[in-house]
Structure 1
Amino acid sequence: MTAQPSAGRRRGRLTVYLGAAPGVGKTFAMLDEAERRRTRGTDVVVGLVETHGRAGTAAKLGDLEVVPRRAVDHRGATLTELDVDAVLARAPEVVLVDELAHTNAPGSAHPKRWQDVHVLLDAGIDVVTTVNVQHLASLTDDVEAITGARQRETVPDQVVRDADQIQLVDLSPQQLRRRLAHGNVYRPEQIDASLGRYFREGNLTALRELALLWLADRVDDALTRYRADHDIAGTWPARERVVVAVTGGDESETLLRRAARIVQRAAGSELLAVHVLPTDGLPAAPPAAIAAQRALVEALDGTFHTVVGEDVPSAVVDFARGVNATMIVVGVSRHSRWRQALLGSSSAEIARLSGAIDVHLVTHEHARRGARRAARPSSLSARRRAVGWAVALLAPVTLTLGLLALGSADDSLSTELLLFLAGVVAVALVGGRRPSVAAAVASFLCLNWFFTEPTGRLTIAEPENALALVVFVLVAVAVASVVDLAARRSEQAYRARAEASTLAALSRSVLSGEDTALAVVERLATTFGLEEVRLEHRADERAAWDVVASTRRGPGTGSRDVTEVRVDDTRRLVLVGRPLPAGDRQVLEAFGSQTAIVLEHRRLREQAAAATELEHAEATRTALLAAVSHDLRTPLTAIRTAVDGLAAPDVDLDPEDTDALTATIQESTGRLERLIDNLLDLSRLQTGSVRPVLRATSLEEVVPLAVEPWLADVVLDVPEDLPLVRTDGGLLERTVANLVSNAVRHSPAGVRVAASATGTEVEVRVVDTGPGVPDDRKGSMFQPFQRLDDTGTGLGLGLAVADGLARAVGATVTAEDTPGGGLTMLVTVPRADAPEGRP
């Protein structure tokens, strides 16, 4: 019986008492809350409270109604769990459920108690529960690092975060240790060990801090939701958050380090760096500088954010308000005083817009020195610039001669101005800003000399003509600047697109598994059309460079220019081929940074694969030692006991006792021999030292020998007319023997071994009528050390060895359910007369 929430039913409220450590009194606090609610007339019952034998906790239950627990039988023991169905039938207003992270006994409706709690909440019942901070899933590794104890029972953080109310239950480490010493937490025999291990003062202090920080994050989330729900735009300085405005300039490192020192003064503070991109999406700072500052922020335990905004100060302030920041750190402007007086400064504008957010202005060595502007290369080719200069010189002269030939000197000046302006625009389109400015000046002189009264002199008689010529020059220069800016922006957009395409291709190669060193250099050579690309590595700064991977695309026809791109301190890319323009070099720097990430990702993946193999080997070794220590010792102990009994000089054994001891020795020796054989076979399989000899073999020579030790328990059905199989008879015999041994052990009613032939195969079936194997375990039953029962006997190697030996001889072993109950192991062996290439 489970409850399903209906559309009109109110979901129950969840109250969690979060303990900073075991024994702080969270169950007491939960019972106090239950008593308070009951005195107010609320219907409260106890679904489950763990007293752990503490008299004080049991007495605290008082006369609260307790719902009987549900009894569960597991491995001969009776366990008690929360009876969800009984609580639903009782339908109280509030139910107490202790230990939220508890794992339910096998056979329960849900594996975890918090899932039971969700059923009660869906039914509209309020739940009051408890959990310790060490059981939160996200803190498992931290708690293990602090206490040395791994928590096996955990609850997802989100389950607790979604609670309607969280109440922290806390005690100082000294108080908790006193409670423990007085016997209020554990039994007397556990006190000394607990005080010296888990409950050390340092451990308790660290757990207390973990609980406070985790709860502070949850409270901060609730504050953010409240501000959003109530449209509160202003900041509430409940927690120190320092936002640093990062420009990508040289001063940004100074700002970040200063902000980090500010953050370190108050525990729990956060450092957030924000970089504003223009709305056109084109980078305003070198990508390498931004990447370096991002790495610095992460090294300082901060977070790096990129936002897009038309106005940098407004974008920074909006971001700070959005994250509820308490301070913005900005640097003194790099621009000179006269430029600040004319255009203002971003830092001053941020201070004006910040409102209640503090602004911390940091000086630096680059302050007021003027923003360094590198010589900006032209976006146009040399040929196009040369054509532009030629047109700039010829266009004014050609227009002048043409107008004079047409007799336009006496016409209105407006016609000449429009024609010359069109010529300047044409020059700007062809050659860019500088040729067009020169064309504008030349056009001004021609207009003044030939078409403005008085002609033949550089004087202007009419004021309106003077104004027209000045406006002409200004418009011509403005148009030229706009055309040049558009060309540069187009070039930047092209470069950004090329960079994004290149890095995206590299990322795709990572996702597709092609992130080898050779794939990186081949991608680079293809993208940039290079003759040769090498990835080189060296052990340290004084060592020589060694080639890790290289690619050649054939002899080049042009210059063999060599470009070096540093990936990191120990790796570099060497590019041989055409000279690369500055724009390509910038993309290469980004490509080098991405290459470092790719290679590091590959190295980490290789280490993870190696670690997985080591972990698997270690798990196998551990399981082997644990199993061998028991399963080899048991027959050895039986043999030793029997031998001691036979060899005892003062004991007179009758023939019946002697036979019994001898049989014990024989049985234990056989068992020990089988264990050792399985271990040896598994070792041979894992090391690849099994060398099968495949030849035509009759199953009549193999199967009877395999089942001989269990003839009394086996019904054998192997027809005489079966075709020959292509196999190694000895290894196939060991395969069938292991399967029969396993079947006999699990099927008291006996085992049937039958064989039959198909067109290309012969099938051997080992059929038992035992308990069978669940479907979810059939996939892992052939792994080493997988016991199919709970008897605790055997190493769990029989099926693993059988499967490995079968694969070695070209056969397969699969598991099927026996009709009516049990397990059938099917061994499929290829026929000797089957065509080559078929099973």
Structure 2
Amino acid sequence: MNSSRRADALLADLPREGRGRLKVFLGAAPGVGKTYAMLQAAHRQRELGVDVRVGVVETHGRSETAALVAGLPQQPVRAVPYRGLQLAELDLDGLLASTPQLALVDELAHTNAPGSRHTKRWQDVQELLSAGIDVYSTINVQHLESLNDRIHDITRIKVRETVPDWVIQDADEILLIDLPPRELLERLREGKVYVPEQARAAIDAFFSQTNLTALRELAMQTAAARVEADLDKRANLLGEPLPAVRGRLLVGIHGGSSAAALVRHASRVAERRHLPWSAVHVDDGRAMDEPARVRLQAACQLAERLGGEVVTLRGDPARTLTEHAHERRASLILIARGRPRMWSSRTLANRLLAHSDGLEVSILDVGAEPMPRLRYTQRSAEWTHYVLAAASSAGATAIAMLLSKVLELPNVSLVFLSAVLTVAVCSSLGPALACAALSFLAYNWFFIEPTYSFTINREQDVLSLFFFLFMATLTGNLASRLRRQLKSLRETQSETVAVLEFSRRLTAATDKAAILSSAKQYLEERQPLSTLVMTRHKSGNWHIEDGGDLRLSEQDRAAADWAWKHEEPAGLGTDTLPNCSWLWIPLLGDEGTLAILGARGSTEDHIPPDLNRLLKSLAQPLGQALARARLAEDLEAARLHGETEQLRSALLASVSHDLRTPLTAMRGSIDSLLTLGNAISEDDRTELLEGTRNEAERLDRYIQNLLDMTRLGHGGLKLARDWAAPGDIVSSALTRLRSVLTGLTVKCDIADSVPLIHVHAALIEQALVNVLENAARFSPSLGVISINVAQEGNELCFAVTDQGPGIPPQERKDVFDMFYTAARGDRGGKGTGLGLAICQGMLGAHGGRVAVSDGPDARGTTISMYLPISPQPAQDD
């Protein structure tokens, strides 16, 4: 047992100080008896002296459940008004204040009424646990977040209330409450779950025999997963080996041609047996040729796509596979049938059976094939290495002849062994064996009596000579194997570093264009490659993502189509249309092919095998990055759609009232004039007409605000600048608001030395009108509105001060948002909430700004509009 795993288990088993314990009663569907079982458990705890308090329990009109609730102390629920109803919600603060030892909180997935502290009831439970209160709660399996899609596929009903899986995983205890579907349907028909009308509808929509059976299986799987996790934890805590209960399938793969077929077969077997599975490759130190490495990598990627786990181990294949199987509590090992090696009559299957120790070993007959070996071109070293072997033997002979005068004969053999080791480390096995043979002959010729002949007189010299040959061969072989392993590890490390660096660059990219640009730059700056990424439209046409124009041959297009359709590489250097000039590698996501990566050598008509393998390794993180970019685009589109809908709703809610009010007043005045005719006095007629005109002006301002906001949002606001006097702008704005300012006192203070401003006078006047109208709305009757115009540095300030209730500091940024309204004061009616937003937009178009501050003596509000002052025109202008 791994000591670190046992230490982790010990730490996890320690009680969390100050935190309560959560027990969840899990059921497959409503009506199986979760709440009843929870209440029975609570009664047992109360009999043991535990302080139990009912926080909230939903009886659904069941008399047996209500009787159990009545026998326990209860925390009064909190009545929350909602749409004319009184909703009973958990009184979280009251329960925290009473500090019981155990609280009962039914329906963990419940959504709280608006205005509650937490949106979901499981969040209330988390706060109770943090306060050190134990909690009993209930949940149905359809409310688990990870099962939401599967529940929809089973029942065709979208469950809206879900609980994150980590809440259940963190529970200290899960109790499965089970009831056969037949008995549950009988309870439903008898009205023990819902009232008869609801029961009939529930049977038709949800409580079918098939649905209940499937939900029951999901509930049992959830409980079984928790039991398995508890078993792991307990075994690790005790430092004991884990017993195999559920099991796991291990498929041993290598670089043979059967690797892909073996992985697919393993996936089907795992699915039929409902087992998790892993694809395991055991590296025994023997180097594979390039096709074998490519096949192995393709098999690993296929295993990941089919939902398996990929594991790479090192050691003897049979022993390592069985040890890993026992460690992972696997029950089945699947391998392909192979031929025995030249030096052994036992196959991998025979050796696995010898070490299986109760494991099931299945052998798939996909054609007997040997384990992948080095190609002869790789095993045959270059001729220079054999020259090195001969030179090393000659050098060792010369050194040995010099040392033979001072050393005994057995010590001289160490010089030749050193030469063999040197050649093995510097070259490969072939030159090392050649060096060993030459050293054997030189040792015999120059140092074994009689010298200068291959005749051996003494029997002990024969034994020494052959022992020297054995040691030279053995050490040379070991040194050569270590060199091959070191080379393989370096290549693996190089690929791993390349993938990590590539993934790091892709992670830093924020969108699809940045991802493709980063990938293209990374690939082409390190390798002599030309690359491109293409996507396929629904019409079947190809689109080059970098915007380039590339004319592909019919064969290249056919290879690209095949790679897109079959999700496998095609084209240059593959078995599919290998005569193409491009290599096409599909970039895969969860929903299939997202794009294809094209690559070709800049000077050669082929791609080196190591580069080919690297491209296929980098294709996976590139596909994941594109999937992430697509997801981000979808989320952004959803966010924009949501904001658009929110904006539309706010506009309709605001405008529908504020446009209807003046229209209703105008219609009433006109109806009075038409109905009463000459019976109305002249004064009343004048009053009605003036009221109609005022409402029409009010309606005109609303419509103008909407049009201005639209023009600002679409960049349609054109500035026709001219020189204007600030006093004229103020005077014109006051004239337009004559009826609005009735009953208020307006004080103007315009400094004599204020300069002219180069602005679009009508827009600045409109901005000032919006600010004055806003001040009038929030001013009390007979209130005073002050207008101050003065130069402050390089800016001209229009400051409008009212005597209204003021704006809190935390809301001062919000008042410039569209549709933000705050009706305060006696004159504070509702408005569209566009006035100040338009004011900010108009000033911003002129390079100005607007600010909000307190009025004099912290009473009311001052809105200041700042405009930049341009160099004054000449007097003639």
Question: Which residue in 1 is equivalent to 2:278?
Answer: 273
1:499-514 correspondence to structure 2 within 5 Å: 499-513=495-509
Structure 2 counterparts to residues 120-519 of structure 1, below 5 A: 120-122=128-130, 124-139=132-147, 154-168=162-176, 210-237=218-245, 239=246, 241-247=248-254, 249-266=256-273, 269-276=274-281, 278=283, 288-300=294-306, 302-325=307-330, 327-336=331-340, 339-341=343-345, 345=348, 347-355=349-357, 358-367=359-368, 369-375=369-375, 385-394=382-391, 396=393, 414=410, 417-428=413-424, 431-455=427-451, 457-513=453-509, 515-519=514-518
Listed as ranges, the matches of 1:509-588 within 5 Å are 509-513=505-509, 515-528=514-527, 530=528, 533-535=530-532, 537=534, 539=536, 548=546, 564-568=582-586, 570-577=596-603, 582-588=609-615
Q: Deviations over 1:552-591 (max 9, x none)?
A: xxxxxxxxxx985433284311231489765444334434
- Shift of residue 506 of structure 1? 2.0
Evaluate the alpha carbon distance shift between residue 655 and residue 685 of structure 1 in structure 2; reply closer, same or farther with a 3 A threshold: same
* CA drift at 1:374: 4.1
SS of residue matched to 2:366: coil
Whole-angstrom distance in 2 between the partners of 1:8 and 1:582: 55
Distance in 1 (alpha carbons) for counterparts of 2:597 and 2:479: 42
Greater shift after overlay, 636-645 or 484-493?
636-645
1:372 is paired with a residue of what secondary structure? coil
State the partner residue of 1:97: 105
Matched, 1:62 2:70: yes
- Equivalent residue, structure 2, for 1:687: 714
- 1:141–1:802 Cα change, 3 Å: farther
Would the aligned equivalents of 2:250 and 2:278 in 1 still touch at CA under 8 Å? yes
Cα distance, 1:471 vs. partner?
Answer: 3.2
Out of 800-809 and 739-748, give the one that drifted further: 739-748
Match among 13, 16, 25 for residue 24 of structure 2: 16
CA distance in 2, matches of 1:328, 1:700: 92
User: Contact 2:389 / 2:434 at 8 angstroms: preserved in 1?
Assistant: yes
- Structure 1 segments unaligned to the other structure (5+ residues): 1-6, 552-561, 835-839
**Shift in alpha-carbon separation, 1:295–1:72, aligned structure 2, 3 A:** same
Question: In 2, are the aligned partners of 1:389 and 1:435 still within 8 Å (CA)?
Answer: yes
Pair 1:761-2:795 in alignment: yes
TM superposition shift of 1:460 = 2.2
Q: 1:113 to 1:608 in 2, by over 3 A?
A: closer
Q: Deviations over 1:202-243 (max 9, x none)?
A: 776666555444444334333332333333413241x35433
Q: Decide whether aligned partners of structure 1 residues 473 and 717 sit closer, same or farther in structure 2, where only a CA change above 3 A counts.
A: farther
d(CA) in 1 for partners of 2:267, 2:581 = 37
CA pair 635-589 structure 1, distance change in 2 beyond 3 A: same
* Equivalent position amino acid for 2:456 in 1: I
Cα separation, 1, equivalents of 2:286 and 2:707: 66
Q: Cα distance, 1:479 vs. partner?
A: 4.2
8 Å Cα contact 2:287-2:488 kept in structure 1: yes
Q: 1:287 to 1:761 in 2, by over 3 A?
A: farther
Distance 1:185 1:549, change over 3 A: same
Q: 1:279 to 1:82 in 2, by over 3 A?
A: farther
Q: Which amino acid aligns with 2:434?
A: A
SS in 2 for 1:363: strand
Alignment deviations for residues 512-571 of structure 1 (CA, whole Å, 9 cap, x no partner) = 32844343333223223x3x62326475999899694789xxxxxxxxxx9854332843
Q: CA deviation at 1:329?
A: 2.7
Counterparts in 2 of 1:723 and 1:303: CA distance versus 1, 3 Å: farther
Letter in 2 for 1:362: I
CA distance 1:651–1:209, change in 2 (3 Å): farther
Is residue 832 of structure 1 aligned with residue 870 of structure 2? yes
Does the C-alpha gap of structure 1 residues 153 and 428 become closer, same or farther in structure 2, counting only changes over 3 Å? closer
SS in 1 for 2:276: strand
> Could you list the per-position Cα deviations for residues 776-815 of structure 1 after superposition, in whole angstroms to 9, with x for gaps in the alignment?
x666665545555799955554454444444333233455
Note if 1:810 corresponds to 2:847: yes
Counterpart AA for 2:716: S
Matched residue SS, 1:253: helix
Match of 1:554 in 2: none
Q: State the Cα distance separating 1:361 from its structure 2 match.
A: 0.9
Q: Is the 8 A contact 1:93 1:126 kept in 2?
A: yes
Matched residue SS, 1:273: strand
Q: What percentage of residue pairs aligned between the two structures are identical?
A: 33
User: Does structure 2 conserve the Cα–Cα contact (< 8 Å) formed by 1:746 and 1:770?
Assistant: yes
Change (3 A) 1:212 1:795: farther
1:558 corresponds to:
none
Q: Is the 8 Å Cα contact of residues 387 and 431 (structure 1) preserved in structure 2?
A: no
In the TM superposition, residue 483 of structure 1 has moved relative to its aligned partner by 4.2
Residue by residue, what CA displacement relative to the aligned partner does 1:231-290 show, whole Å, maximum 9, x if unpaired?
3413241x3543333445443333333333333335xx3422143565999999966545
Q: Indicate if the aligned counterparts of 1:534 and 1:549 stay in contact, CA closer than 8 A.
A: no
* Correspondent of 2:762 among 721, 730, 737: 730
Q: Deviations over 1:719-774 (max 9, x none)?
A: 33444555433334444444554555556576666555432334445556447457
The alpha-carbon distance between structure 1 residues 392 and 701, as it changes in their structure 2 partners (threshold 3 A), is same
CA contact (8 A) 1:567 1:595 kept: no
TM-score by length of 2: 0.75
Once residues 290 and 782 of structure 1 are traced to their aligned partners in structure 2, the CA distance between those partners, rounded to angstroms, is 62
Kindly provide the amino acid, as one letter, of the partner of residue 521 in structure 1: K
CA contact (8 A) 1:409 1:450 kept: no
The equivalent residue for 1:4 is: none
8 Å contact 1:694–1:809 — kept in the other structure? no
Distance 1:801 1:231, change over 3 A: farther
Alpha-carbon shift at residue 155 of structure 1 (Å): 4.3
When residues 521 and 376 of structure 1 are mapped into structure 2, their CA distance, relative to the original with a 3 A threshold, is farther
Distance 1:212 1:642, change over 3 A: farther
Task: Report the Cα distance in structure 2 between the residues aligned to 1:613 and 1:352, rounded to whole angstroms.
Answer: 64
Tell me, in whole angstroms, the C-alpha distance in 2 between the residues paired with 1:816 and 1:645.
45
Secondary structure of the corresponding residue to residue 682 of structure 1: helix
Residues in 2 aligned to 1:547 and 1:79: alpha-carbon distance in whole angstroms = 55
Return the alpha-carbon distance in structure 1 between the equivalents of residues 861 and 185 of structure 2.
56
| Cα pair distance change 1:701/1:15, threshold 3 Å | farther
Q: Which structure 2 segments of 5+ residues have no match? A: 1-14, 550-579, 587-594, 873-877
Matched residue of 2:370: which SS?
coil
**SS of equivalent to 2:338:** coil
**Structure-to-structure mapping, 1:698-709, within 5 angstroms:** 698-703=725-730, 705-706=732-733, 708-709=736-737
Counterpart-to-counterpart distance in 2, 1:51 and 1:389:
89
Q: Indicate the RMSD between aligned Cα atoms, in angstroms.
A: 5.1
Contact 2:723 2:757 survives alignment (8 Å): yes
